[in-house]
Amino acid sequence: MAPAPHRLTVLVPTPAHSALGSLLHYDSELPLTPGTLVRVPLGQRELLGVVWDDANEADAPPDGTVLKPIVAVLDGVPPLGPGWRRLVDFTARYYQRATGEVALAALPPALRGLDTTQLARRLKRRQRPLAPPDRPPRAEASAPGATPAQAPRAEQLTEPVAAATPQPLTPEQAAALADFESSAEPALLFGVTGSGKTEVYLQAVQRLLAREPQAQALVMVPEINLTPQLEARFRDRFAHHGPQVVVSMHSGMTGPQRLQSWLAAHLEEARIVLGTRMAVFASLPALRLIVVDEEHDPSYKQQEGARYSARDLAIYRAKLESTSETPCRVMLGSATPSLETWHHSRPAVDGGRYRRLSLSHRIGQANGLAGDLPTLRLVNMAHQPRHTVLSGPLMAAIAERIARGEQAMVFLNRRGYAPVLHCGGCGWKSDCAHCSAYRVFHKIDRTLRCHHCGFTERVPRACPVCGNPDIAPIGRGTEQIEEQLGALLADVRRPDGQPVRVARIDADTTRHKGALASQLADVHAGDVDVLVGTQMIAKGHDFRRITLVAAVNPDTALFSSDFRAPERLFSLLLQAAGRAGRDAAYLAQQGTVSEMWLQTHHKDHPLYAALRQHDYPAFADQQLTERAQAGLPPFSFQALVRADARTQQAAQAFLTAASAATDALPGAEHVTRYPAVPMTLQRVANVERAQLLLESPSRQALQRFLAAWQPVLRATRQGPEGKGVIRWAVDVDPLAI
């Protein structure tokens, strides 16, 4: 008589709002440990699944039910650990998504399609020695104080090196690191730009591995373009551990690359994982340290699918991975922390949930070198000639820097040549036919492009409405700034007598593989005199010879209806200013000081007054006072329910009907439901979008309400009010309203 099969609960990737749950039941000849990867049948397909912890008995099929058997067990991969499974469970519950959707999306795409034979071949190939990945250009390409002619090309420094020697810590760095290691509480490393936060990260990891050679660390950065230079520093520092000690995880990698990195981390071969927000779900069985660099950055918030905050999940994951004997510590680092993080790090607030560690001086100041923060100079554009894009004083300052062999950076967070084309005769503007937005004029290829749906057309020879040939650009983008700089600096010469070289880095110039690395190498090698770009260049990069940074048109965010706009603007400008004067020895050699120039029509605005003093604490405390008075986050908790439909009326009708049926739900008395309204960008790719805001002074009440509302939303979607609705989604703790 054959033994009775074992009944297992398996997590599968069902659609977000499917009536079919994520946890299904299958038969297995053998008992399997929770976390085991298996292949299971679902309908006509065969999918990757994860054996899960026992589900609620009420969800179990009745005795005698014939279940489908598991197809195969991927026994070459150890089971996913309990900490990882609890993280997935929490993420699904908190962000109101299906557990299977979260879990399977967190695994490498290449793993989902492998059967046991294919996986065995991959694992066998991994046993052969692996060459380290292509090394990115180093941010430290030129020695401090080197002139452009002396600076070696960055690509010449990409050969493997011995372990880099740790830099001596300043007293502030040493105190911060000692304080961090003295407690298991989450810590905020609040350090001004150029204060050496990265060295603190490096030595925190180094000390961890010295204490626990088998421990693992996760280091997160907000954007892909910041990964190469950080990876270069970590590989240099830990080269003696072997080629696989450091691996990367981000969406710019190929499927096989992501799978290789994931396996190295999961099999505990990699000690350090560097990655973007997706890396928060990396399987790290021996995780003991998490670092979230530039923790304030909005890029840590996922905007599709499960709209999670990787920063918040990092805090929660550290708690899950900690035991009394082996704590998992987490460090959040920023020169401009998010107001939520700043609020939680204030000692008198909320029991001091985070410890605040401060680095208030730039590297070099302690040695008497010119390592001061950049001086802010405001140019009142009201006193400049009309239609001036780059003011005379700013251009004179840039020319002076170039003549001394220094570099300048001009920042404008808008790509293209101009935001819109306009006809002065009939008022036509370059609207997008599919979105409630304008198409941007790109002069370099004479196109009008929508940056939302991608719709592109050639620039018309005349107004398509009235035939007027005199159509003109309105506003400015990085292409226009690059063009004007080239014209205004045509007569300026470098110290070697060569003409000025202007380069632009934005999403348009870095579309091709390797383009960003090549352009950054040119900057580090001194082959660029003036760098123009968007926020891609405004944060995280360690440019050694840039001594002047200019922000061309920052005023547009001063009067936004979004209550987070001042926080984002202050952060972006302070981060951009931090790219100037990062090498104190170079400043001392040049006999110069670093500057931040800001062109504005509102020079007396309080935000600029705080920026002039580099006084983030004063700015943050003032913003928190205003938010407390208005009952805004972090003093309340929000969620958005968004609906996409064929018409705006259908989208709003769905949200209104779903909201009307909520009075009796748990927590409803503590949740304010606002009316459904169009989103700020109402139409994208011919899809109308609406949203409904929920707000509560209690996080728990809001979560209870959202969990109870899910069946109501699904039922409304299936009813007459759901006709014409394409999709709906819940966004917990939204960053944009």
Domains in the chain: boundaries: 6-126, 160-359, 368-415+477-629, 418-475, 637-732
Structure tokens given for 147: 């002139």
pLDDT (0 to 100) of residue 224: 85
Strands 471-474 and 420-423, by their bridges, are antiparallel
Sign, CA torsion 214/218/224/226: negative
From CA 735, how far away is CA 563, in angstroms rounded? 10
- Is residue 505 a contact partner of residue 519, using CB atoms and an 8 Å limit? yes
Q: What is the pLDDT of residues 328-344, one digit of tens each?
A: 999 999 999 999 999 99
Find, among 240, 241, 166, 161, the residue nearest to 200 by Cα.
166
pLDDT (0 to 100) of residue 513: 84
Q: How many CA atoms lie within 13 A of 418 on its CB side?
A: 16
Structure tokens given for 134: 């292509």
Contacts with 273 (C-beta within 8 Å, 6 or more apart), sequence order: 216, 217, 218, 219, 246, 247, 248, 249, 261, 265, 279, 282, 284
Burial of 566 per CB tally in 10 Å (0-12, 13-18, 19+): buried
pLDDT (0 to 100) of residue 179: 96
Q: What is the pLDDT of residues 112-138, one digit of tens each?
A: 888 888 998 888 887 654 444 443 333
Check if CATH label 3.30.70.270 holds for domain 637-732: no
From CA 127, how far away is CA 674, in angstroms rounded? 58
Q: What is the pLDDT of residues 227-256, one digit of tens each?
A: 888 888 999 999 888 778 999 999 889 999
| pTM, two decimal places | 0.91
Place of tokens 């096989």: 256
Other C-beta atoms within 10 Å of 700: how many?
11
pLDDT (0 to 100) of residue 132: 43
- Ranges of H-type helices in 534-634: 565-577, 584-590, 606-612, 616-630
Q: What is the pLDDT of residues 366-418, one digit of tens each?
A: 454 445 789 999 999 999 998 899 999 999 999 999 999 999 999 999 999 99
For domain 6-126, the CATH architecture is: 3-Layer(aba) Sandwich (3.40)
From CA 273, how far away is CA 283, in angstroms rounded? 10
Burial of 676 per CB tally in 10 Å (0-12, 13-18, 19+): buried
Burial of 42 per CB tally in 10 Å (0-12, 13-18, 19+): middle
State which H helix or E strand residue 420 sits in: strand 420-423
Q: How far is CA 263 from CA 105, 166, 252, 550, in A?
A: 16, 29, 17, 44
Please give the span between the terminal C-alpha atoms of the chain, in angstroms, as a whole number: 63
Domains 160-359 and 368-415+477-629 share a fold: yes
From CA 547, how far away is CA 592, in angstroms rounded? 8
- The CATH class given to the 160-359 domain equals alpha beta
- Is residue 293 a contact partner of residue 276, using CB atoms and an 8 Å limit? no
Q: What is the pLDDT of residues 495-524, one digit of tens each?
A: 999 999 999 999 999 988 889 889 999 999
Strands 687-696 and 672-673, by their bridges, are antiparallel
Query: What distance lies between CA 99 and its chain's CA centroid?
Result: 23
Burial of 199 per CB tally in 10 Å (0-12, 13-18, 19+): buried
Find, among 116, 99, 119, the residue nearest to 23 by Cα.
99
Radius of gyration of the chain (CA): 27
Give 368-415+477-629's CATH code, choosing from 3.40.50.2300, 3.30.1120.80, 3.40.50.20, 3.40.50.300. 3.40.50.300
Where the chain has pLDDT below 70, the residues are 1-4, 15-20, 54-64, 127-164, 348-351, 365-371
State which H helix or E strand residue 727 sits in: strand 725-732
From CA 280, how far away is CA 310, in angstroms rounded? 6
Burial of 195 per CB tally in 10 Å (0-12, 13-18, 19+): buried
